[in-house]
Amino acid sequence: MDTSIRPPKLKIAVVGGGIAGLICAFALSKNPSIEVHVYEAARRLSEVGAGIGMFPRVWKIIEELGLADSLLPLADDEAPLSFHMRKSDSTEGLSFYNMHELGAFMTFHRAEFQQAILKRLPSSCKMYLLKRLTFVDEPDSMDVPVSLHFADGTTATCDLLIGADGIKSEVRMSMYRSRAEKARAQDKDEVADIWMRYLRPVWTGSLAYRGLVTKEQLMSLNRGSEPAVCKRPMMYCGSLRHVVGYPISKGNLVNVVAFITNTDLEGAPFDGPLVTVVPKEELLSNFQGFEQEVEDLLHFIDRPTRWAIHTVSPLPSFVSKRIALLGDAAHAMTPHQGSGAGQAVEDTYILTSLLSHPLCTQETLPFALEIYDRIRRPLANAVLEGSRRAGFLFDFNLPGLREDDIMQKGADGTLRPSMEVLRQVGQTMDTVQEWIWKRAVQKDRERAIMMLEERFSRGSSRMD
């Protein structure tokens, strides 16, 4: 590339001021050749949800980006994550497997994490609040900028639009709605119908009840001794129901999430608020018959919040010529692998590495986005599907590993849990999560950069 002629700045709009959008903006703002504008619909930046967790593979990215010094003091706990699995849907629970240790799992308060990144954004990064995106116009001509239209009647333009606007992403809806409209204009109604399926999130048929319990509360019912869930993560499994509990705040609190699933309702519309406070009785009634340890956990959740778990159907593309999706906008997933936020960080790592490369210009942008899609989409969609599969495992709901397979008749005709089948449940879960420790995202970044550099001959950044 002829460096004597400075190319025009790349103007990038990031829609969404959540964790994914802010990390993306921070990484891009390091490059003086990139102009960053962040548009957020809310009046102020505030994350919903109690916590965010990171495996070592994700924390390495945070370190590389230069955010570790700001975030490490906020880390709540750093402990090896290895769930102890029990069959708990009867009065006498049964321990059956210790999952593969996934390395130190760092947890943070979500709002504190967000604010720490926000403070690190340079003044050159422009932030706009109360900007609810309603429509995106991406002209076919690369010479005409992408137009963003907001609910307040204002507009903005950019060379590249990054959709980090969550599971209900307007960027995703605009991108796929545009594809559907073009297909209908060509009388390809069946193709248009396929594109329309990706606009909105899909209910999984699962509800999650969340709450916090203190160690003192649990010890009061445990004759003063410390329950197992105060010391290590526990997975209490049952047929189409399971409860997750793990210590936070140096073991003084236990975070509890209790799931119930109706597989017949997967993909059906959800009637009601996505998040709401419900009576304790609703929670307890769904877990009647579970072992005492679980009943004790749930007993102390006075105001449980119920979440209708939605996901994004695996997308056939995260990009168009000048639009890229990342995080929940691209692959919102169930929480059963604790990897939703981490996958958003990995998206950002690959995408910003490509966009910050000297060979990435307005002209070569579509190819850089194509590389991002080729590198990130297969893994992110695999993690999305793996999280769904993990939930089925915890619910004893995979072929050959269901309740009917687990409960087997003994010589006396009495039904008893088969330890062999239960071990298969745990071993299958370890297989589902192998990617966490076996595949390094840094290798993916190297491959992405190599693809970009190999695509363009030395001395030229022109698209062929």
345-371 tens-digit pLDDT: 999 999 999 999 999 999 999 999 999
Separation in Å, CA 69 to CA 104, 116, 119, 341 = 18, 10, 12, 19
Q: What is the pLDDT of residue 106?
A: 81
Q: Order of strands, edge to edge, in the sheet holding 323-325?
A: 126-128, 34-39, 10-15, 160-163, 323-325
Backbone angles phi and psi of 344, in degrees to 5: -65, -40
With 60 as the cut, is the pLDDT of residue 83 above it? yes
Q: Yes or no: say if 190 and 197 are a contact pair by the CB < 8 Å rule.
A: no
What is the mean pLDDT of the segment spanning 289-305?
94
Average pLDDT over residues 317-336: 97
Q: Given CA atoms 443, 448, 449, 453 in this order, what sign does their dihedral have?
A: positive
**What does the pLDDT look like over 418-443, one tens digit per residue?**
999 999 999 999 999 988 888 889 99
Q: List the single range of 13-17, 280-284, 288-292, 460-464 with lowest mean pLDDT.
A: 460-464
Determine the Cα–Cα distance for residues 408 and 427; give it in Å rounded to an integer.
Answer: 20
Residue 283 pLDDT more than 90? yes
Share of the chain above pLDDT 70, in %: 93
Query: Which of 52-56, 153-157, 405-409 is the most confident on average?
Result: 153-157
Is residue 16's pLDDT more than 60? yes
Give the model's pLDDT for residue 101: 73
**pLDDT (average), residues 165-177:** 97
Q: What is the mean pLDDT of residues 236-242?
A: 98
- The pLDDT of residue 50 is 58
**Could you tell me the two tokens for 58?**
């994700």
Once rounded to an integer, what is the mean pLDDT over residues 180-185? 96
> For the chain, what is the mean pLDDT?
91
Rounded to an integer, what distance in angstroms lies between the CA atom of residue 109 and that of residue 47? 9
**pLDDT at residue 330 is higher than 80:** yes
What the block records as the tokens of 98 is 């210790």
Query: Is a pLDDT exceeding 70 seen at residue 81?
Result: no
- The pLDDT, as a whole number, for residue 78 is 60
Q: What is the mean pLDDT of residues 441-455?
A: 95
HEC secondary structure over 33-76: CEEEEEECCCCCCCCCCCEEEECHHHHHHHHHHCCHHHHHHHCC
Helix axes 56-65, 19-29, angle to 10 degrees: 40
| 47 touches 54 (CB < 8 A) | no
Q: Residue 251 pLDDT more than 80?
A: no
| 192-196, 247-251, 265-269, 402-406: the lowest-pLDDT one | 247-251
pLDDT recorded at residue 3: 47
Distance between CA atoms of 209 and 172, rounded to whole angstroms? 28
Task: Identify the CA nearest to 162 among candidates 420, 368, 346, 348.
Answer: 348
Domains of the chain and CATH, by start: 10-76+110-201+313-393+439-455 (3.50.50.60), 202-311 (3.30.9.30)
3-state secondary structure the chain: CCCCCCCCCEEEEEECCCHHHHHHHHHHHCCCCEEEEEECCCCCCCCCCCEEEECHHHHHHHHHHCCHHHHHHHCCEEEECCCEEEECCCCCCEEEEECCCCCEEEEEEHHHHHHHHHHHCCCCCEEECCCCEEEEECCCCCCCCEEEEECCCCEEEECEEEECCCCCCHHHHHHHHHHHHHHHHCCCHHHHHHHHCCCCCEEEEEEEEEEEEEHHHHHHHCCCCCCHHHCCCEEEEECCEEEEEEEEHHHCEEEEEEEEECHHHCCCCCCCCCEEECCHHHHHHHCCCCCHHHHHHHHCCCCCEEEEEEECCCCCCCECCCEEECCHHHHCCCCCCCCHHHHHHHHHHHHHHHHCCCCCCCCCHHHHHHHHHHHHHHHHHHHHHHHHHHHHHHCCCCCCCCHHHHEEECCCCCEEECHHHHHHHHHHHHHHCHHHHHCCHHHHHHHHHHHHHHHCCCCCCCCC
